[in-house]
Amino acid sequence: QCQLNGLWRNDQDSLMEISVLKDSGNFQGQYLTRVTLAGGCAHISPLKGAQQQLGEEGWPTFAFTVRWDKFSNATTAFVGQCFVDAGGKEMLSTMWLLREAVGSLEEDWKATR
């Protein structure tokens, strides 16, 4: 079974640590991105989420948000599923949407990536 708690590294060399996984499925942690909108040095950003509670078997789905409040006026929502490959390695498969603040309703079209 896949366990979300722990340290994860993605293919862009960003790090995510899920440090608190509650019995309810809620979790929190921190995210250190190597990819930023403004460039430059990245900061640790808080994350909060929840995973679907399953029985003894299965690969849980999950969702979490990251507030990039220390260096950007943006928030990212991730959704995904945890898998274990044939070699026993745990992997997270995710999709994300990033929402950046814009100055007007007319600029809304370019705010989501």
In this prediction, residue 108 carries a pLDDT of 93
Size of the chain in residues:
113
Convert the pLDDT of each residue in 22-60 to its tens digit: 888 899 999 988 766 556 666 789 999 999 876 656 788
Dihedral sign from CA coordinates of 67, 68, 69, 75:
negative
In this prediction, residue 40 carries a pLDDT of 61
Domains of the chain: 6-110 (2.40.128.30)
In this prediction, residue 80 carries a pLDDT of 95
**Residue 68 CB neighbours (<10 A):** 21
In this prediction, residue 3 carries a pLDDT of 82
One-letter identity of residue 112: T
